[in-house]
Amino acid sequence: MISNKIKSVLFLAVYSCVSIAADVNDAPANNNTKAPESNATIQLDEIEIKAKRRRIITPLPGVPIDKATATTNIQSATAKEIEETKALNVTDFMNSTMQSVTINDYTGNPFQQDLNFRGFTASPQIGTPQGISVYLDGVRVNEAFGDVMNWDLIPMNAIESLSMIPGSNPLFGLNTLGGALAIRTKDGFSDNYLRTQYLIGSWGREQAQFSNGINNGTVALFTAYNHFKEDGWRDNSPSNLRQLFNKGTLRLEKGELSFSAINIDTDLVGNGMLPYEMAEQDRKQVFTSPDEVKNSLGHYNLSGSWYVNDVLTLSAMGYKRRMIQSAVGADVYDAYYAAQQVWDPINYPGADRVNGIFNYMDLNQKSQGYTLQAALDLEKHQMVFGASRDSNDIRFLQSQLLGEINKDHEVNPVNNPAFDPVFDFAVYRKILRNNLTGSSRTKSIFLFDTWSPADNLHVSLGVRWNWTNVKNYLESEVGKDPYNYVPNDLQRLRCAVPGEPAQNKGLFTCSTGDYDYRSFNPSLGVTWEFKENVSAYTNVSRGARAPTVIELGCANDKTKDNTVGSTNYQQGCSIPTSLSADPYLKQVRSTAYELGLRGADTNLDWNIGLFRTDLTDDILFVPLGRKNRGVFDNFGQTLRQGLEMGVKWTWGDDKFSLNYTLMKATFESSARLVNPANSSNGQNSSGVNAQAYVDIKAGDELPGMPNHIMQASWNHRFNDKFDATLSMIMHSSSYVRGNENNEHQPRDKQGIEFYDYIGDGTIPGYAVFNFRANYKVSPGINMFIKVDNIFDREYSTAGNLALTPFNAAGRFMTGTNQASSEWNNTTFIGPGAPRAAWIGLSIDWNWKNKAFKD
């Protein structure tokens, strides 16, 4: 309902129009004749106007739902708002503008960061617990292989809108544990002009963007292209992206048909975290390199809507998607000392240089599916119901090759005549570790209804049923270390046969898995506008995530005496190295609660709310004591809860925004991990022969999740041509991975060289300030400047506890055996980027293709 002030304005406007019309109609033909005066009063009926409803993203378009009726704190952004920030990608935009959002940069590449929302993560990294589903035009784009999210596969200049929907909304599918991110793309009707932009600046960064939309009222075409490349601010860290988006739309009187195609090729190098002591010397260094990921995507989507009548809309969507990924991770060879015992200096001079290893990964993933949806817009009800089916087929290969680390920490292939290429083939050819094929099939039906018994009261009820089947076929190498390979192993590249002699056993164990998962996910929420422009809302919902092919392929096998609680623990997985058999994992279940207030007026928009999500059987990657090696396992219970608030207001030529979140993400069950790099591990207290247990107890905080999050911005418009924005991102301290029990402490050698622990296992809190300014040279032509980290603050966003063979100066430390070496346990950090500046030019041509229109 509109305010009384607006009603008065409308009444005066209508009265004026009627009065003018009356004067014209009553005027005599002779203009010289004076019209008689009249004291008559015109009585008009009161007119009430309801604001146009704003669409909240459903799996497919077709039902308008007023944001005021939403029972959670939905955050949205338009294409214009995204473009104004000059954000590099989705994670960059959300980290700077949206409540309860943080990022962790474990890889050292801006397109491969973890996005965290309310303690849940959407990450491109295998092994990270995933909890956010991401939808692009109704297609869930979390990859079936590990539910990971590749942010480099979303073209920013093709985004029309972006909405972060908290909780386990049943309109969205699997993995909607903490929230769903729904993205809509542009078309030639909504974006029907030519736009170009070019940016250049620090670290050799160049970005060229082009988009154009045209339509003739019935047919529309839209194209967006983005080319990005840079050298990176750290050593040997270049990136290159080419993203192309095309969409054709046919708009008819009773419906609409659309086809879109996304074709992307990216080459990203992110050389990961750096030991704390090396970062103190030079933050630009890398631990080892190269760590490179190449992605190739073909994504095709056909969708349509039929407006049956004013009440009913039918929608359908079908898609096909193929993603090919190849990656190489160069690392320190953690069995270096054991290899030296085999490659003695007499027979293998120079063997001490074989201290690196290449981990190769090749992934071929095909996905397809469809969604059918019906939407009813009734007087008291707004309903959506539908069904979907998604299929994924995966082929995954892992292999290894030994290498040599040079003075610049680059791992290179071995070039040493001391090795016999016939006998010592581990240093000359890749060793196959795993051949994993698998599939997943998910069928769903969903229903969502918003019932409005009164104009200021809305009740939302939703439900979703999921049926998922996951199949695996795994050929996994038995875990023989590369330096132990002999030519006879070439004759054993087959599955082991039970009962055969040990000397003849195949080099691989082979297993199959076939698992079914079912889930029933309801939600219930209420919104009450108890005062004009002020609403209270509450919601409770349940969600689910089924294990993926990779998680089942590397699950902890509790049926054998090789669990984490055993000193004879299983080989486990290194991402990417050896997998294991594929025992059963439970699906993750979530229960989310939310309660809050929000209000909006002409110049003010605010909200404050509480949230809580309980998880059972969360799937975590459990370390087994060797570098990056572990298994996926169900964890009893975890909890995310907190308070979030935000305010936006306009005062004259100034716009302000402030977001704050108080959050705590904790383990709620006890567990035992293995990590020798944690100073509190049981090995230290029980002697060198004990297992390096790290015991987690209820209440310990999850790594990488700060307790306090704040974003603030101030925009001032100096005149019609020039404006500037100062913004801030602040995160409090957080624990690093490996310090899940929150008890790690730095410790000096104390006479025992092996037990040296550097760093306190936390990431300090930080505040980073950014600046951007925009100048309108002429209508449609804008120059802009962007400066990140204007005070050049040294900070970190991620961390891990691990063993390093390098001293503070970055020199590789050798020794006769590991116990007497100078290798140290340390805190690795993901350093934040230093101060950087870019300048750009954007042109909005406001040009329409007249020939096409005619």
CA angle 360, 365, 370 (to 5 degrees): 160
Over range 451-472, report the average pLDDT. Answer: 93
Q: Which CATH number fits domain 67-853: 1.10.10.10, 2.40.170.20, 3.90.220.20, 3.30.479.30?
A: 2.40.170.20
Q: What confidence score (pLDDT) does residue 279 get? A: 93
Report how far residue 413's alpha carbon sits from residue 408's, in angstroms, rounded to the nearest whole number.
15
* pLDDT at site 684: 61
Mean pLDDT, range 135-164, rounded to an integer: 93
C-alpha distances in angstroms, 339 versus 503, 508, 676, 677?
22, 22, 21, 22
Give the residue with greater pLDDT, 27 vs 709: 709
Contact 668, 636 (CB under 8 A): yes
Helix (H) or strand (E) holding 83: helix 79-85
pLDDT in tens, 493-502: 788 877 777 7
Asked whether residue 561 carries a pLDDT value surpassing 80, the answer given is no
* Strands 629-651 vs 654-667: parallel, antiparallel or unpaired: antiparallel
pLDDT at 51 (0 to 100): 39
Binned at pLDDT 50, 70 and 90, residue 819 comes out as very low
State the Cα–Cα distance between residues 74 and 66, nearest whole angstrom: 11
Closest CA relative to residue 317, chosen from 515, 67, 667, 61 = 61
H/E run at residue 461: strand 457-477
Identify the weakest region by mean pLDDT among 57-61, 619-623, 751-755.
751-755
- What is the rounded (10 degree) CA torsion for 30, 35, 36, 39? 150
Residue scoring higher pLDDT (417 or 300) = 300
pLDDT (mean) for 733-740: 94
Higher pLDDT, 260 or 45: 260
Q: Which residues have CB under 8 Å from 710's CB, separation 6+? A: 658, 659, 660, 661, 728, 729, 730, 731
What are the residues whose beta carbons fall under 8 Å from the beta carbon of 99, sequence distance 6 or more?
73, 75, 644, 645, 646, 659, 660, 661, 709, 711
> CA–CA separation, 467 vs 520, rounded Å?
9
Q: What is the mean pLDDT of residues 739-752?
A: 80
Q: Residue 664: its pLDDT value, please?
A: 97
d(CA 212, CA 221): 8
Is 132:294 a contact under the CB 8 Å cutoff?
no
Q: How far apart are CA 840 and CA 508, in angstroms?
A: 55
Distance of CA 779 to the CA centre of its chain: 36
Alpha carbons within 13 angstroms on the beta-carbon side of residue 446 total 29
Task: Please compute the mean of the pLDDT values over residues 319-330 and round it to a whole number.
Answer: 95
Q: How far is the C-alpha of 522 from the C-alpha of 340, rounded, in Å?
A: 59
Q: Note the Cα 784 to chain centre separation in Å.
A: 28
Residue type, 417: P
Say whether pLDDT at 577 is over 80.
Answer: no
Distance of alpha carbon 443 from the chain centroid: 24
pLDDT category at 729 given cuts 50, 70, 90 is very high
State the average pLDDT over residues 242-253. Answer: 96
pLDDT of residue 632: 78
Query: For residue 214, with 0-12 CB atoms within 10 Å meaning exposed, 13-18 middle and 19 or more buried, which class applies?
Result: buried
State the Cα–Cα distance between residues 502 and 633, nearest whole angstrom: 30
- d(C-alpha 23, C-alpha 297), whole Å: 67
- Check if the beta carbon of residue 106 is closer than 8 Å to that of residue 830: yes
- For 74-129, write each residue's pLDDT tens digit: 999 999 999 999 999 999 999 999 999 999 999 999 999 999 999 999 999 887 88
User: Does residue 547 have a cis peptide bond before it, meaning omega lies within 30 degrees of 0?
Assistant: no
pLDDT value of position 61: 58
How far CA 422 is from CA of 335, 349, 356, in Å, comes to: 22, 17, 21
Pairing type for strands 734-735 and 356-377 reads unpaired
pLDDT score of 493: 79
| Contact assessment for residue 206 and residue 668, using Cβ atoms and an 8 Å cutoff | no
> Cis bond leading into 238, ω under 30°?
no
pLDDT, the chain, mean: 84
Say whether pLDDT at 29 is over 70.
no
Q: Is 686 helix (H, G, I), strand (E, B) or coil?
A: helix
Looking at residue 232, its amino acid is G
pLDDT band, very low/low/confident/very high, at 576 (cuts 50, 70, 90) = very low
Position 49 scores a pLDDT of 43
Q: What is the DSSP string of 567-581?
A: SS----EETTS----
Lowest mean pLDDT among 465-469, 572-576, 753-757, 847-851: 847-851
| Nearest-angstrom CA–CA distance, 321 and 141 | 9
pLDDT at 750: 57
Is residue 756 predicted with pLDDT exceeding 60?
yes
Rounded Cα–Cα distance for residues 151 and 128 (Å):
15
* Type of residue numbered 527: T
Q: Token pair of 697, please?
A: 């107890």
SS3 string of 511-544? EEEEEEEEEEEEEEEEEEEEECCEEEEEEEEEEE
Tokens of 578: 């050896």
- Asked if pLDDT for residue 762 goes beyond 80, the answer is yes
Higher per-residue confidence, 672 vs 574: 672
Task: Kindly report the number of other CB atoms within 10 A of residue 350's CB atom.
Answer: 15
Distance CA 292, CA 269 (A): 4
pLDDT at 225 over 50: yes
Query: Of 396-410, 517-531, 680-694, 783-797, which gets the smallest average pLDDT?
Result: 680-694
CA atoms within 13 A on the CB side of 415: 5
In the chain, the amino acid numbered 601 is D
Which residues does 297 contact at the CB level (< 8 Å), separation at least 6?
153, 262, 263, 264, 265, 321, 322, 323, 324
Does 42 have pLDDT greater than 50?
A: no
Reported as a pLDDT band with limits 50, 70 and 90, residue 565 is very low
Hey, where are the domains in the chain?
A: 1-49, 67-853
Candidates 149, 119, 120, 118; CA nearest to 135 is 149
Using the predicted structure, report yes or no on whether residue 15 has a pLDDT greater than 50: no
User: CA-to-CA distance for 788 and 770, rounded, in angstroms?
Assistant: 5
Q: Does the pLDDT value for residue 757 go beyond 70?
A: yes
Query: In terms of DSSP H, where are the helices of 282-343?
Result: 336-342
Q: Is the pLDDT of residue 699 over 70?
A: yes
More confident residue, 467 or 58: 467
Residue 686, pLDDT above cutoff 60: no
